[in-house]
Amino acid sequence: MLLFKHHRFFLTYTILLAFAFLNKSATGSSLGGKWNYEKAGSIKSFFGFRNLNQQNVFERNHIFFNEDRFRIQGALTHPNFRLEFADEAFVFVERSNPSPLPLPNFSTTSAWKASWNLLERKNLLIVGRLDRFFAQFLFGDFQIIVGKQVIAIGVGHIFTAVSQVQRYLFDFIDQEFPKTEDAVSFIWGGPVQVEARFLPKTSEQREQNFHFRVKGNKNGFDFGLTSGHSDDKYFLGLETAGNIGEGLIRSEIVGYDASGRKYLQGLIGFDYVFSPKWSGKLEFFYNGFGQSKDYVFEPFIHRTAPFRGQWYGALLVSWEIHPLLKSHWLSVVNLRDPSTLTHLYFDYSLSQSVDLLLGQFFNLGNSQSEFGGRLLVSPPNFELGAPNITYAALRWYY
């Protein structure tokens, strides 16, 4: 009962704050002269079950969870300036499931702390997080962006090879907002676009990060040459994208050097719109940081590649069943295991600003495969695999 009271109090308090900050119009308003401000936000509530694929790690195999996400975002704009921020709060309600051993933490850090535990009690965790906060200065074709911002991530839609930024794990529900990084960006948008970024090192890294990208167009194809230093590794890469008939083909390849050891990553993708109601994406990915077998449940070698294997394929199909109802099917396949992680969900529009989601993550594969099996956890006789997740969600944008 005490847990329920805390949860209801925080939910009511956050809604009141949101309404105080956001009036009925979530669009921009004038401050006089050339100055304007924008404001928006969302409330998302997720309910579901995690069916764990584990042995000797947790007390229970089936766990109910409830997660509420509250987001407030805004911007102060001028023809030559933009100041943007987004702040989030997360309320996690989940029955405790003790483990006899500590498990590795797969979450990565930023250069400066941007997340705080506001309340932590049994079965309840409230987290506050600054999602983005940056200032953008515009001087004709030249711009400077300083602060916590979204970083360009190449042409991969499901996988990524050239990106410096951390990625969501595939079983993270609702990846609507891209992850952000602390950075200083310099961008020149001439006929050939030039980008240079400095990303201060995190507590997990030994050296500073920097990134250069030169992009242009030739015969209807976009080309990008990238280089820099990412996650204590030097890299050099090439990315391309262009239309072939009714489809779009995309590709990336990048080589890394980590203390004299060489790694290669690459992908190729194809997008096609079959009709106004059907569309699909297909991607193949090679992860040089992965292993061909004998996976162990441990942190990933390279934080922008949350994969344990080497060869992958992925298919994303979207179908508009009705103007108010859409379905999405994403399958990621480890081609060497083989094993598959699949996410199927339906999105029903209750109104212009409210959506209802029903979804399922399920995994298929043999024992010790990446997605379908149980990976070894030290000490011996402990095994843990990807969970099957059933969920429902309500999203409200205002």
Task: For 219-232, write each residue's pLDDT tens digit.
Answer: 889 999 999 998 88
> What would the mean pLDDT of 315-323 be, rounded to a whole number?
97
Q: Contact at 8 Å (CB) between 325 and 347?
A: yes
**Rounded CA gap, 334 and 16, in Å?**
46
pTM: 0.86
Q: Any long-range contacts for 245-250 (C-beta under 8 Å, 24+ apart)?
A: 246/272, 246/273, 247/271, 247/272, 248/272, 250/155, 250/156, 250/157
Burial classification of residue 259, based on how many CB atoms lie within 10 Å of its CB (0-12 exposed, 13-18 middle, 19 or more buried): exposed
pLDDT of 2 over the 70 cut: no
Task: For 379-393, write each residue's pLDDT tens digit.
Answer: 778 999 889 999 999
Query: Domain spans of the chain?
Result: 2-20+38-397
Give the position of tokens 């997008």. 271
Closest CA to 270 of 298, 297, 312, 242: 242
CATH 2.40.160.100 fits 2-20+38-397, yes or no: yes
Give the position of tokens 């980590």. 258
Closest CA to 187 of 235, 149, 240: 149
Residue 315: the pLDDT is 97
